Amino acid sequence: MEQRELTVKVRNNTGKGVARKLRGEGLIPAIFYGHKSEPIALSLNPTELKKIINSESGRNTLITLKFEGKKEKERVALLKDLQLTPLKRTYLHADLYEVLMDEKITARVPIHFVGKAIGVKEGGIEQHSRREIDVRCLPGNLPDFIEADVTNLAIGDSIHVKDLKLSEGIEVLDPAGDTIVAILAPAAEKVVTPEEAAAQLAASLAEPKKEEKKEEKPTKK
């Protein structure tokens, strides 16, 4: 599991006016909280947060918070929520949830599909039923992603949650029988019989033709 540092600043004021002022200064408001910690209002640099989100671990990156100008001890957090503007998708507000390294956490981990299925080479269709699963583990064991190798899947084969290979200490919270990926047979083209073709032709000939609109001649004065 990747771990990154993020410098944050404690702020004493809250509210929409304060949030607008922060954004005008190139920062965004944030809140840090946990089941064993009092909430702390923060401000942070959205560009630095974006670098973390765009890393290989994405939102599952463990973030070490370094408090600027305060004697607050460093805390470890996960990005719990991120508010974005509808169109430009710029960051508006971030929720950071405290992580204790000796306590298990729940997280959603992406699935990476590797290989090219035998069934796809034979003309089948690879259908992904889900691209993420929910897991529970200690923060240090949280994987960046989970691989699902589809190489040996023939048409009609599938991979289920129970088939995923996970490291020790990782508990999957999704139902074991849920399908992750399946190789479907190609859709067969419908063959039109001569009788059906004749019926379709007869129906088209039987349709009444629309009367052509006669051009009106200008009346002589």
Q: Where among 98, 123, 146 does a domain terminate? A: 98
- Residue 191 counted as domain residue: no
- Residue 216 counted as domain residue: no
Same domain, yes or no: 89 and 34: yes
Range of the domain at 130: 105-184
pLDDT band at 195 (very low <50, low <70, confident <90, very high): confident
Q: Is the pLDDT at 215 greater than 90, yes or no?
A: no
- Residue 213 counted as domain residue: no
Query: Taking CA 20 as the corner, what is the angle to CA 14 and CA 25, rounded to the nearest 5 degrees?
Result: 105
pLDDT band at 157 (very low <50, low <70, confident <90, very high): very high
pLDDT band at 154 (very low <50, low <70, confident <90, very high): very high
Q: Is the pLDDT at 204 greater than 80, yes or no?
A: no
pLDDT tens figures, 41-100:
999 999 999 999 998 888 899 999 999 876 778 999 999 999 999 988 899 999 999 999
Same domain, yes or no: 11 and 86: yes
Q: Where among 39, 74, 98 does a domain terminate? A: 98
Q: How many domains does the chain have?
A: 2
pLDDT band at 191 (very low <50, low <70, confident <90, very high): low
High-pLDDT (> 90) share of the chain, %? 67
The whole model's pTM is what?
0.73
pLDDT tens figures, 96-145:
999 999 999 999 999 999 999 999 999 999 999 999 999 999 999 999 99
Same domain, yes or no: 118 and 83: no
**CATH code where residue 55 lies:** 2.40.240.10
Q: Is the pLDDT at 217 greater than 60, yes or no?
A: no
Q: Where among 68, 98, 128 does a domain terminate? A: 98
pLDDT for 88: 86
- Residue 198 counted as domain residue: no
Fill in the amino acid letter for 156.
G
pLDDT for 30: 95
- Residue 43 counted as domain residue: yes
More confident residue, 213 or 150: 150
pLDDT band at 192 (very low <50, low <70, confident <90, very high): low
Same domain, yes or no: 93 and 109: no
d(CA 138, CA 99): 9
pLDDT tens figures, 12-38:
887 888 888 999 999 999 999 998 888
pLDDT for 196: 74
Q: Is the pLDDT at 168 greater than 80, yes or no?
A: yes
Same domain, yes or no: 80 and 140: no
Q: Is the pLDDT at 219 greater than 60, yes or no?
A: no
- Residue 68 counted as domain residue: yes
- Residue 218 counted as domain residue: no
pLDDT band at 190 (very low <50, low <70, confident <90, very high): low
Same domain, yes or no: 140 and 82: no
**Closest among 64, 79, 76 to 100, alpha carbons compared:** 76
- Residue 123 counted as domain residue: yes
Q: Is the pLDDT at 186 greater than 70, yes or no?
A: yes
Same domain, yes or no: 79 and 127: no
pLDDT for 92: 94
The phi and psi torsions of 43 (rounded to 5 degrees) equal -130, 150
